[in-house]
Amino acid sequence: MEADSIRRICHLDQFPRCEGESDDTPRFRRAIEAVPDGGLLIIPDGHYFVKEIEIGKAVSLRFEGVALLEATDTSTRYLLKYAGKESPCGYVLAAPAARGDRSVMIAGSACDLQTGDMILLVDDTCRHSDHQAEVNAETHEIAAVQPAEKHTEIVLKDFVRLPKTISKTGRNLVKIEPLDHVTVENFRYRLKEGAVCGFGIWAKHMRHFRVSGLDGERSVESGIQVRRSLYVTVERFHLRNPQQIGSGQGYGIQFYGGNNHVIIRDGITWKMRHSVDLEGTFDALVENVTDYEGQGVSFLISHNGWCSDITFRQCQAIRSRSSGFVAESQGVPDPFSLFHHNIQILDCRWHRDRNPSDLAGYGFGVWFKCPVSGRISNFLARYGEGGSYTPGQDNGAIRLLPVGVDMTLEGIRGEGLRRGIILAHTGPSRQLSPSDSIHLQNVTLSHCFSALYIQHGTGKNLLIRDLTVHHIEKYLIEGNAVGGYRLFSIDGLTVTDSPNLTLFGAIPKPDVKKGLAGSLGHVRSDQECSLTDLKSGWSLTYEDIFLRGNGLSLTFSGRMEDSGANALPDGIIEGQTLTLISLSTKPFCIHSCNIRAKGNGTSLILSPENRSAMLCWQKGYWMEIM
């Protein structure tokens, strides 16, 4: 066994340059050819010049010391390329596959499929902009093959991530012959100055692939790009200072085209267009990755739109020039047609750099441009030092669609932004599922122009619990003029140092005539006080009810005089209650056309003998109930 193990290990020193060889590429190729499948090539400390090393078998690489691979010329497409194989033939689904399916049915028999095989599950979906094929693709491993009379059931080790339609081209399920159990350790590289293309590592059709200690600079495309692979880990990486920034250029860690079970952890990137790009990736964990001075979106969850089940934990975008965590659906004309399931952003932060030459400071800590489910927890978004809002800014902590979203946002802090949380779409849109809702819990927003901005969307379900706002210049909820709600609830609101705060740009409106469901209460404000010595003709605002009062009760004191003809604004929530309490030394009358007093009048009288009245908003009127 020991002798066999030794034979599976080769050292590059065993393969010196031959006469006439101007770089190290040929010796690498000879060494890799000599290593048996499943073996290891050890590369000692040194500076090596190479061009496009291609590896078509399961050979692991271990670089020792500070070994460095440098491209020989500016047209080198990659320094390392790993590639397994994909069958040119395929199988057709006998029935469409849905998310969550543990197995799929294929038409006919599966002559070359068996337990343990790696497969690609795909359909005929194309990207609408350029008709790129097979964008809705995901890799899997077969748990069992179960023949039936006319069909064959392929049992998966996990489950279908996104729906698949029956292919008209005969390619729904394709067998992959992967390179198995490959490790690349301590790979350091640099592309030649002036390069026009180039990856550090390019890999496709891998299974149990681990890259540890990746260290690269002056790249053009990405430090590593992985395609159609399964069980991949990239860890302990440092990628920096690319030569080009643009479409497909200047990326750090890039996954593309149907990867599954991915781990990316413990890395640093600097001045990249994207630190991590997960297009076409499923069941991924990105943990403890920091992007410094990112030139574009730091963590791109998707750009075409096909992905699901992705978690970011303890990741940071520091001194960002753009947004932090973004998911979008450029692959389809209607973003509402692609749902992003189970996206989690946990214990992360985004710091948008404040630059005198960029007064708008455009960007969002999290921006989901598509329907999504999941959770954002313990997230910090800060612009500059977070201490002041500057007119002209265009940024926010979190931006979501107002409908088609089923998410919980908890432990959120937004500082120094134009808007704290944005729930908006550019045009009319309707809730995809009546049960979808947005929950805000334990959210703190400070030094912003507005705490929330909400626009468009009918059937919205918004539940706010324990929202704290400090030094908000204008609005608690800006916008709200277009769209309607099915449910609107605020349970716990604390307002401090916001003397000019307007609660609503427009009052939340129900979708249906029966009224808006929800609740409003537990409001605390440093403006809370009795309304004292109001002169004849007075009327109340929402700010009086919720900031001078507490949303549930309002106190009058001193020498009150009678109100004007419309003393009370309309209620917001069906069943909302308001108790009016008088500490005044004299009687006074409250007139309002939306009041229905017990005697069916539109006036209430508060006096030393009758100091309170309880009202309930029902069917468009404040009904006196006590």
Give the pLDDT band (50/70/90) at residue 4: low
Question: Around 317, how many Cα atoms within 13 Å sit in the side-chain half-sphere?
Answer: 37
Q: Residues 207, 257: contact at Cβ < 8 Å?
A: no
Residue 359, pLDDT score: 86
Q: Residues 560, 583: contact at Cβ < 8 Å?
A: no
Distance of CA 456 to the CA centre of its chain: 21
Does the residue 515 lie in any domain?
Answer: yes
pLDDT over 80 at 274, yes or no: yes
pTM of the model: 0.95
Task: Give the pLDDT mean for 79-89.
Answer: 95
Strand 206-212 versus strand 230-240 pairing type? parallel
460 with 484, same domain: the answer is: yes
pLDDT over 70 at 621, yes or no: yes
Task: Give the pLDDT mean for 427-436.
Answer: 84
On average, the pLDDT of the chain sits at 95
Q: Phi and psi (nearest 5°) for 31?
A: -65, -45
pLDDT over 50 at 210, yes or no: yes
Task: Give the pLDDT mean for 199-212.
Answer: 98
The Cα–Cα gap between 594 and 617 comes to: 9
Q: What is the total count of domains within the chain?
A: 3
360 with 415, same domain: the answer is: yes
166 with 130, same domain: the answer is: yes
Residue 7, pLDDT score: 65
382 with 508, same domain: the answer is: yes
Which is nearest to 211 in space by CA: 189, 236, 192? 236
Domain assignment of residue 565, given as a range: 531-624
The Cα–Cα gap between 66 and 186 comes to: 8
538 with 504, same domain: the answer is: no
Instruction: Say which CATH number the domain at 492 has.
Output: 2.160.20
pLDDT over 60 at 2, yes or no: no
Residue 576, pLDDT score: 95
522 with 537, same domain: the answer is: no
401 with 510, same domain: the answer is: yes
487 with 462, same domain: the answer is: yes
Residue 511, pLDDT score: 86
Task: Give the pLDDT mean for 170-190.
Answer: 97
Does the residue 585 lie in any domain?
Answer: yes
Does the residue 52 lie in any domain?
Answer: no
Residue found by looking up tokens 């908006």 in the block: 424
